[in-house]
Structure formats: structure tokens, C-alpha cells
A = this chain, B = another copy of it.
Amino acid sequence: MARSPFSVDDLERLKVSAGFTEEDRRYLQLAGEVLADQTKQIVERWRSGIIAGIPHLAKHSRTPEGNPIPEYLAASNLRFEQWIVDTCMRPYDQDWLNYQQEIALRHTSAKKNKTDQVRSTSCVPLEDVIAFVAVMNQTIKPFLAAKGHSQEEVSRMHLAWTKALQLQLALWVEPYSREHSEREF
């Protein structure tokens, strides 16, 4: 597992920059309870419903020739599902910071493909990761609303979710800065 260059103090400053509060922490916890048994459907929606239809995103889980790699997709989908719950429910401590570093590295040439021993694109451009966060933010909303919470509660859960993703994006930049500006798209 990677070691994050960020300390818990750095993270506290980043939370302030993002306006991430104790209330957001509580609503994230609630979001975790709401989403926990829906993660498979959520990842299905993102992967099969959206990414699969966008060639410049879909290629990152295919061979250079464009063939699917079902075992790679299955393994990374499981990690994706776990990440949803972790985003909501794990304490944001040094272990979590290290986990963020590992996630980012697995999207760059430092670690992409290596965990699963596959041949695929060497890197998912950070630009597309940042852009796709907008899609995850938009499409998570019905899942947050699926358990009968009030519109106000759903809004607060959603706000907390979007801040959590922005925080994570901020943590993913550093590993990318080691990558030479590889523009693959």
C-alpha cells in the first residue's frame, strides 16, 4: 500500500478549503447507510450505463486492441463498490490518506494494470477523472433518494458526497504530478 505525502494536518486544511464540516461527516455516514446495499447497481450504472458507451473512457479497461478484459473489469468493479462505502463511512485518517494515494497511483502508469496483471492503457488522464466526478455526483442522487429520506436530507447527503469527492480529487493530484503530462485522449 502506498504512503500519502499528505498528513492528517494537511487534510484538515484541505477540509477547510472545501468547506467540509462535521455536519458533512454525519450526512456522509447516513449516505453510507443508504448506499451500502446499492453499490453493485451504482457501479453497474456507471460502468455499463455510462463508461461503456464512451470510447475514450471505456478503453481504460480494455486491451490496446479494444477487447474487453472481463476479469479486470470485475476486480476493479469490486474495488469501485468498496470505494463508495469507504467514501461515506471510513474515518478520514492517515490510513485513508494512504488509500487515496493508492487509488490515484492505480490510475497512473505507476500502478495501473499491475495489480491485475493486465494489458490496457497506461494511465487514465486526470482531466477525465475530474470530469467524470461530475457524472458520479449527478447520478448518485437517485440512489441517495431511494430509501425514503426527506428532500432536505437527500440534499445534505448529496452536498456531503460532492465535497468528499472534491477532497479526494485534491488528494489524487500529487501522484499525477509525477507522471509526465501524458495526454492520451
Chain A: number of interface residues, binned into ranges: 35 or more
Which B residues touch A171, using CB under 8 A?
Answer: 127
B-chain residues with CB within 8 Å of residue A134 when the two chains form the complex: 18-20, 162-163, 166-167
Binary contact track A30-68/B, C-beta < 8 Å → 1, others 0: 000000000000000000001000101100000000000
**A18 with B162: CB separation less than 8 A:** no
Identical copies in the complex: 2
A130 pairs with B170, CB closer than 8 A: yes
CB distance A173 to B131 under 8 Å?
no
Chain B nearest Cβ from A2, distance in angstroms? 15
Any B CB within 8 A of the CB of A142: no
Contact A14-B128, Cβ < 8 Å, known A19-B134, A134-B19, A178-B181: yes
> In the complex, what distance in Å separates the CA atom of A169 from the CA atom of B169?
10
